[in-house]
């Protein structure tokens, strides 16, 4: 059981690299695809890629103060991918800096816990929304109020006069 737990958390890597800011969109895409291809061709699996865009560098590199940041999260059980990436990146002039880091088990556990918390929160929100919807559907709709009846006042006065008993003055 211990071996499978160790394998579960083995071989996860993060890579961050900075592309020269004068590189146009098509060339940036070409560089990104080239590095992703190196990962997959060497037995790795791309889990996520995030282009952060152009940002200011902490210090000047090759006479520039900006670069396009790209973050990649991948898995490699063979251990060949980091060396292959290093060889490719060293020959790529459009990349200013890079770093590849093997993620420790603690970081992966923390990410799993965070994902579980987010999943539970989403399930709770969905359950609350469903309960509110069910409660709204269970309440009977109020009956509409009857419309007021309008009667002409002239008719009521005439009817009251005709229904009145005759005056006693004429008979006395």
Element (H, E) at 44: none
Q: Sign (positive/negative) of CA torsion 23, 26, 29, 34?
A: negative
> Domains along the chain?
2-107 (3.30.70.60)
Alpha-carbon separation of residue 84 from 20, 157, 167 (angstroms): 21, 105, 121
pLDDT at residue 105, rounded to an integer: 65
At residue 22, the 3 state secondary structure works out as: coil
Whole-angstrom distance, CA of residue 8 vs CA of residue 18: 30
pTM of the complete model beyond 0.85: no
pLDDT at residue 8, rounded to an integer: 58
pLDDT at residue 34, rounded to an integer: 94
Residue for token pair 């059980």: 77
pLDDT tens for the chain, 172 residues long, are 454 555 555 788 999 999 999 999 999 999 999 999 999 999 899 989 999 999 999 999 999 999 999 999 998 888 889 899 999 999 999 999 999 988 876 565 666 667 777 888 888 888 888 888 877 777 777 777 777 776 665 555 555 555 556 655 555 4
Whole-angstrom distance, CA of residue 80 vs CA of residue 45: 12
- Please list the residues that pair with 18 across neighbouring strands: 69, 97
């Amino acid at each position: 059981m211990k071996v499978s737990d160790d394998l579960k958390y083995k071989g996860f890597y993060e890579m961050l690299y900075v592309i020269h800011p004068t590189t146009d969109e098509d060339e940036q895409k070409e560089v990104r695809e080239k590095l992703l291809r190196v990962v997959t061709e060497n037995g790795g699996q791309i889990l996520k890629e995030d282009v952060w865009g152009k940002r200011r560098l902490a210090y000047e590199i090759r006479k520039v103060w900006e670069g396009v940041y790209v973050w990649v999260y991948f898995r490699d059980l063979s251990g060949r991918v980091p060396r292959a990436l290093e060889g490719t990146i060293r020959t790529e002039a459009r990349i200013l800096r890079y770093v590849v880091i093997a993620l420790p088990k603690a970081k992966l556990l923390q990410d799993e816990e965070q994902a579980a918390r987010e999943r539970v929160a989403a399930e709770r929100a969905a359950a609350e929304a469903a309960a509110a919807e069910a409660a709204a559907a269970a309440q009977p709709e109020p009956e509409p109020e009857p419309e007021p009846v309008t009667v002409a006042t002239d008719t009521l006065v005439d009817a009251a006069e005709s229904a009145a008993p005759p005056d006693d003055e004429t008979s006395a």
